[in-house]
A and B are shown apart, each in its own frame.
Chain A
Amino acid sequence: MGMTHIVDRRLNGKNKSAVNRERFLRRYRHHIKKAVSDAVHRRSITDIERGENVSIPSRDIDEPIFHHGQGGKREMVHPGNQEFVAGDSIPKPQGGGGQGQGQGQASPDGEGMDEFAFQITQEEFLDFLFDDLELPNLARKKLKDTEAFKYVRSGFTTQGVPAKLDVVRSLRGAHARRLGLAGARRKKIREMEEQLADLKSAPDDLDAAFSHKDQIEALESEIARLKANVRRIPFIDEIDLRFRQHQKQPKPATSAVMFCLMDVSGSMTQMHKDIAKRFFILLYLFLQKNYKKIDVVFIRHHTSAKEVDEEEFFYSRETGGTIVSSALKLMHKIIESRYSPTEWNIYAAQASDGDNWNDDSPVCSKILADSILPLVQYYAYVEITPQDHQMLWYEYEKIMERFPQSFAMQQIADAGEIYPVFRQLFERKAA
């Protein structure tokens, strides 16, 4: 006794359960994916800053063990008797199995006991979202790190990797060092050489006692020694090395505007729109990583285009034909009036099932090439259809050839194919 050892464990880090938590999420990924998928449907594309509540039916996560069932004869001792005496009989409640002895517990907050509810974090939410999109880890990470940095030069340092060696600086340092270390000796050498020259030029005294010979020899050997010393000073030494130093700095905040263009004609089903929505979310995440301020403009069109809010964009139904150029024209108009390309980075994503009036497709192509692509950073077109392409696709293919830097297009048949389009976008932009 008296041998108590008191330890402060608070700094040991919490998250000891992180692996177990991850194991749980992994085991129930299907349930969680569904919840995430429902949430995507429900949430705004800009609303990705928080996690999500997930409920799983309790029976699905039960850990079964052998236990007594209902029935048979059972006796239980309870506390708090008020008026019972031995032999009393109490009618069983009708209807149920007649168990009712403290087995079933009421839920304190009215939440169904048959649901196991928990929260996933924003990061986990995105993970499951990306999972659905088959987003590889590298891209995932890029998307989740919302803080973006760039490296800026910040002077020089004496340590670093060879790749960052600054040759001029290093040599300048070496030169100074050589001067510093050798200067005094060189001066001495110069003095002695002068002396030596004087001695040599003077006629030598024949008298051995007054001969300069010894003096000359002494001077010569001293000069040789000093010169050797100076030679031993390295041309460049480790301490001369200078490396360029870089510091992480948050990327300057700039603004971006993201145009979402979507065909809402009758042929676009809700499934098409949901796929488009995921694509737009990805684009938004990507932009969020790079820009502090992002505006999102929603343009929907059938035969005519209209700027709408998100709700109307994704969830109202229209019928009728399709004239894509109407949306492009409207986009151009909005850029001109509100988003000057000198102040805004402009991105656009267009989703469609590929349907367009054939006469209109060359018009689209012309508007894109002449008025839009010169103004935007990037324009992505996704065609959500498992079927054969129509006129619009072939027109856009020509655009892609002409503007490989700022135009990408891809066909998507289901959600899993959204990512390839994206990869193009990333590869180019990350370089």
Chain B
Amino acid sequence: MKPVVIQDMTIRFGGTTVLNDVSLSVASGECFGLVGESGSGKSTILRCASMLYKGWTGDVLIGGQSVRSMDPMERCRVLQMVFQDPYGSLHPRHSVRTVLAEPLRIHGIGEQEARMRQALIDVGLPVEFLDRYPHQLSGGQRQRVAIARALILEPDVLFLDEPTSALDVSVQAEILNLLQRLRDEKGFTYLMVSHDLAVIDHMCDRFAVMKTGDIVEVLPRDAILDGTAKAPYAQELIGASLTYEQAAM
């Protein structure tokens, strides 16, 4: 259980500023959502904070420690990420066993077999799946494997990059419930990107609305339904999403 604080994160790709002095803080054990249209920089925040992108300024503190000064190996054991597309985030030629054993091998952790089994049980997959390959799994099962991979190093903070947007609606609910159960059991801090306000409503305690690299407003979950958003863009986004959902019904 560690809090995450992002301070003045700025990144430019070429001439365009993708993130402009973004600051936010997530309490330990909280689920914090990031919403916004495509290209507003939601996923970029996660990729910068996990040091997948290097050329950014500002700082990210996890449990009071800067990710920059953290030892890379230690950082892996504090912070893990679940990616958007389970079809692209699992190596097509690695069996589930290889996928789960790699991080254990890299970090020299013993009792591999028991840990791999436990990780699969945690995400609700049968232990026999260890010898399957990604193409033998469905999308939801793949995402469960990806979550198991993130869990196996026992991190404190999980970054979720639209973990359900590539999945069917029914499977989405399963994965979201799984993520919620894991948070209750292990007390993860979640930082979750989504463009689906229903998902945010289901999962998050608070969320930030983003537009072109800026945080427009940070809102509690209730603001989705009671319309307490003050910023016009946030109102617009929530309104559009609500009318869309009514139309869908």
Asked if A and B bind, the verdict is: no
On B, residues with C-beta under 8 Å from A are: none
